[in-house]
Amino acid sequence: MDDTHSITARSKTRVDNILADLEQQYGSFEVVKKRWERSEVAFDRLLTQFEQGRLDGAGVWITNDDGEVLLVRNEGEDGWADPGGKVEVGEEYATAAKREVREETGIDCTLTGLRELHKIENITASHPASIFEVIAVFDGEYVDGAVRAKDGEIADIGWFSVPPSTVLYEEVRQRPYPAQT
């Protein structure tokens, strides 16, 4: 097996195992398949992260008592998204999601389930291999804490009763906003 096939097969098998583990823990949830074209530099960075076991991400779709959804806008981005970030080596996805929310927004949340898993195939024109990764998006509810944006990472933060006009990825627009109903 050549290295190209090995990278693709190993990353895909790893993602399939993660999917099976999360299904065992949380039951059924939506799986969103995506294919992202990366620059050569970004792809090489992903390859290094894959080899180091620190590739995946986790986030939370958080609502408050008013049915509003907490969204963040990252530095350098125009679109809004749920708070989240990288899963550390050996860290559970749920733990990473809650940690990232606390780091990015200053609040604590409780997780109520796994909403969706993004199964991402990363490609680049200059490399024949694909690198598969996952982003787990949990449902959550606000518990406490004052909302504050993490300096140097989060440009803006806010509670939304309807989808913002600009989103980082389409699921942010399509998910339910409970205050809207």
Domains and CATH numbers, the chain: 3-171 (3.90.79.10)
Divide the 181 residues of the chain into consecutive groups of 10 and give the mean pLDDT of each group.
Answer: 75 96 96 96 93 92 97 96 95 97 97 97 93 97 96 96 96 94 70
pLDDT tens-digit map of 81-111: 999 999 999 999 999 999 999 999 999 999 9
Please give the Cα distance from 150 to 74 (Å, whole number): 9
Secondary structure (H, E, C), the chain: CCHHHHHHHHHHHHHHHHHHHHHHHHCCCEEEEEEEECCHHHHHHHHHHHHHCCCCEEEEEEECCCCCEEEEEECCCCCEECCEEECCCCCCHHHHHHHHHHHHHCCEEEEEEEEEEEEEEEEECCEEEEEEEEEEEEEEEEEECCCCCCCCCEEEEEEECCCCCCECCCHHHHCCCHHHC
Instruction: Go through 45-61 and write b for each residue having 16 or more CB atoms within 10 A of its CB, e for each that does not.
Output: ebbeebeeeebbbbbbb
Please give the Cα distance from 69 to 115 (Å, whole number): 14
Percent of the chain with pLDDT over 70: 97
Task: State if pTM tops 0.85.
Answer: yes
The DSSP bridge partners found for residue 69 are 63, 160
- Of the candidates 5, 8, 20, 88, the one whose C-alpha atom is nearest the C-alpha of residue 52 is 88
